[in-house]
Amino acid sequence: MPDHLPADPEPLPGSKLGEIIFSFLGKIPESDQQLSTTPAASAAKLARSAATSAATTASALALPLGPLGWLTLVPEILAVWRIQAKMVADIAAIYGQETWLSREQMLYCLFRHAAAQAVRDIAVRVGNRVLIKTASQETLRGITKKIAVAIGKQALGKGAARWVPLAGAAAVGAYAFYDTTQVARTAIKLFESAATPPPFPQVESKA
């Protein structure tokens, strides 16, 4: 790795990244999946496909080196999030929960593994189930700002990897695969715990 890495790089300031996440939650992807009679197997297959797609996409966008690589950082993150969000919507559909999929559930699935402390503000555990609260715009903005801090630190590591030819892109791809797998695991666990028949229960936030 070159010795001349950018001093104190800030490709994704927290406030900007928080707004990106908040805006990203504005539209829940549509799914073409149907309710499955074997949802666990169907969801696992879908998760593997999405993780592979995320890894391939992230690796390709991480190939440019040095300063040019920093410019692909935001597109890479957004591209992976889009793949993951579609996967979450598909998993919800497989479990018969697509109609009731909310932005709060999407937020929880996408970021629980990376920013557990932030998303716990919208999650309530009742026995073996996790119930997701509805949240006001103000509450969601506060949560996305907290998530942005955690994601921003990870982004700096991804940016540094762009100074390592090929190996850096491979590392970014491997992380995207792992990250997507974790998102899938959260989504599967969340929608598996939903009562049948639907809808998935919602809890009104007091905030």
124-161 per-position pLDDT tens digit: 887 778 888 888 888 888 888 888 888 876 665 554 55
| Domain, as residue range, for 176 | 37-204
pLDDT grade for 163, boundaries at 50, 70 and 90: very low
- Confidence at residue 109, expressed as pLDDT on a 0 to 100 scale: 95
Q: Is residue 6 part of a domain?
A: no
pLDDT exceeds 80 at position 31 = yes
Long-range contacts of 152-159 (CB under 8 A, 24+ apart): 152/12, 152/13, 152/14, 152/17, 154/114, 155/11, 155/12, 155/17, 155/73, 155/77, 156/9, 156/11, 158/62, 158/73, 158/76, 158/77, 159/6, 159/9, 159/11, 159/69, 159/70, 159/73
- Confidence at residue 32, expressed as pLDDT on a 0 to 100 scale: 93
- Confidence at residue 113, expressed as pLDDT on a 0 to 100 scale: 87
Q: Is residue 94 part of a domain?
A: yes
Structural domain tally of the chain?
A: 1
Q: Is residue 144 part of a domain?
A: yes
Q: Is residue 91 part of a domain?
A: yes
pLDDT grade for 207, boundaries at 50, 70 and 90: very low
Q: Is residue 17 part of a domain?
A: no
Q: Is residue 129 part of a domain?
A: yes
